[in-house]
Amino acid sequence: MRRFKDHLFLVYLVASTIFVVLPLFHILFCVFANGLPVLMKGGMNFLTGVLPAPGDGLGGIGPAIVGTLVLTVLATLMGLPIAVLTGIFSAEYPNSLIGRATRTLLLIMMEFPTILVGLFVMNILVIPLGSYSALAGALALAIVMMPYVAVYTEQALKDVPSRYREGAFALGLRRRTVVKILMSMARKGVVTGILIGIAKVAGETAPLLFTAGGSYTVYFQGINRPIGAVPLLIYQLVQQPYQNYHEIAWGASLVLMLIFLAIFLPIRLSLKEVKL
């Protein structure tokens, strides 16, 4: 009976794993099956051209690709330093009033509807300036990114055994030096949080509805001008009744997935775990 229960539990674990992984593989299969023919049909022009008129062939998504990269880079430059410093503060002062309040606020922000972030940025930036802009879109994405990076940074520092911290302080090292040492030991978790934050904002659509504006017939013209993005383009195209727009949406979905995999996988696999 004991052996039977053991085998039954093993079957349950395998089945649960399959049920968890199966939707991911289904998404990958659908995107590749529908998007790859579009990329092969459009060729390089699909990656460099501009959005065509309804029913007028494939055209391209070049401005959307450039827009996604610009928005992601700007959002990372805005949000990453603040997020990492916030995570360090929460880990170093976990029992302080500000530390506890910061941790609670970060957890709330992780679950906060991102469309409300877009509305917030629209009210403080888009309406006063009188125009959609890359700056507004990047600010909204930076707000979305920060809690993920901060929480992962905090958790990565907490996972470092306390004996290393205590030993460093016993040697008379400054807190700033100790933090540098701990950050090097926790770099795998920190970088993972950064990559998750970047992947999160690279695929966001809701905040951009009220901030970026969308621009798919011209390339990036400045941070004070409307800008396109691949997720926003997909959202707008799937609502259109035109066959060529639906094909472009599938091709753009595959491009977005390839961008994410190209950023995430090489860096994540190249990181060496620090043995503690």
Q: What pLDDT does 276 receive?
A: 52
Q: Which residues contact 221 (CB under 8 A, 6 or more apart)?
A: 215
Torsion over CA: 36, 73, 137, 80 (sign) = positive
Cross-strand bridge partners of residue 213: 227
Q: Is residue 110 within 8 Å of 151, Cβ to Cβ?
A: yes
- pLDDT tens, 36-63? 999 998 888 898 888 888 878 888 899 9
Reduce the DSSP state of residue 159 to 3 states and report it: coil
- pLDDT tens, 64-115? 999 999 999 999 999 999 999 999 888 888 888 888 898 888 888 888 889 9
List per-residue pLDDT tens for the chain, 276 residues long: 788 888 889 999 999 999 988 988 998 899 999 999 999 988 888 988 888 888 788 888 999 999 999 999 999 999 999 999 999 888 888 888 888 898 888 888 888 889 999 999 999 999 998 899 999 999 999 999 999 999 999 888 888 877 777 777 777 777 677 777 788 888 888 888 888 888 888 888 999 999 998 888 889 888 999 999 999 999 999 998 888 899 999 999 999 888 888 877 766 666 555 455
* H or E element, residue 260: helix 243-270
Phi-psi region at 59: left, alpha or beta (left = phi > 0; alpha = psi -120 to 50): left
Q: Which domains does the chain have, with CATH numbers?
A: 62-270 (1.10.3720.10)
> Which tokens hold the place of 107?
């957890």
The backbone torsions φ and ψ at residue 213, rounded to the nearest 5 degrees and listed phi first, read: 90, -40
Contacts within 8 Å (CB) and 24+ apart, 104-108 = 106/147, 106/150, 106/151, 106/154, 107/147, 107/151
Q: Is residue 150 within 8 Å of 88, Cβ to Cβ?
A: no
For residues 187 and 159, what is the distance between their CA atoms, to the nearest angstrom?
Answer: 11
Q: What pLDDT does 172 receive?
A: 74
The backbone torsions φ and ψ at residue 253, rounded to the nearest 5 degrees and listed phi first, read: -65, -40
Q: Which residues contact 102 (CB under 8 A, 6 or more apart)?
A: 86, 89, 90
